[in-house]
Amino acid sequence: MPASSVRQFTDPDDYSSSFRDFQYELNVTVGGGFAAEHVRVDLHELRLQHYSSNLPWVAHTAIPDGRAVFALRAEPGPSLLRAGKEIVTTSIERLARGQTIYTRSSGAVSWGTISLSLDALAAIGITMAGREFTTPEDVTTETPESGTMERL
């Protein structure tokens, strides 16, 4: 059923537990007042999530095995590294299902995920390309044509 929510957090553990489908362990790396927001929109098989936080952190994440997950930066800002690679606003990542990865923020960041069930991904692939789309074995980065990410 379609649903949405906006939640604000001052506790990193509460924020970590709000990451739907993910096992997410967040460790803030500097002192100070933590503030974060998690926006979630569920449209049947499609899930959109937006995350933002004000302090640097390191996170260990287990990607869900039953979903295709795409991640992107929502806006420019301090560095955000996933699996040792910089996440930039002009690209989108395809995360590998079932994989565990580390992500590090060097300051206040804003990013999001788009996910859907593997069955929905396969059906979309057949409809759009005449073949099933699959998820990668490792994190892959795609850089669409100029202007595409701004519209997204």
pTM of the model: 0.86
Task: Compute how many other C-beta atoms are within 10 angstroms of the C-beta atom of residue 41.
Answer: 15
**Beta-sheet strand order (sheet of 92-95):** 3-9, 36-43, 46-53, 109-117, 67-73, 92-95, 140-142
Q: Give the per-residue pLDDT at 107.
A: 96
Q: Give the per-residue pLDDT at 55.
A: 97
In angstroms, the Cα distances linking 130 to 33, 61, 123, 134 are 51, 33, 9, 13
Please write the tens of the pLDDT for every residue from 64-102.
888 888 899 989 999 999 888 898 888 888 888 888 889
Where are the domains positioned within the chain? 3-145
CB distance 105 to 53 below 8 Å: yes
Q: How confident is the model at residue 3 (pLDDT cuts 50, 70, 90)?
A: very high
Domain 3-145: CATH class, spelled out: mainly beta
Q: Which two tokens stand for residue 8?
A: 């604000």
Please write the tens of the pLDDT for every residue from 106-135.
999 999 999 988 888 888 888 887 877 776
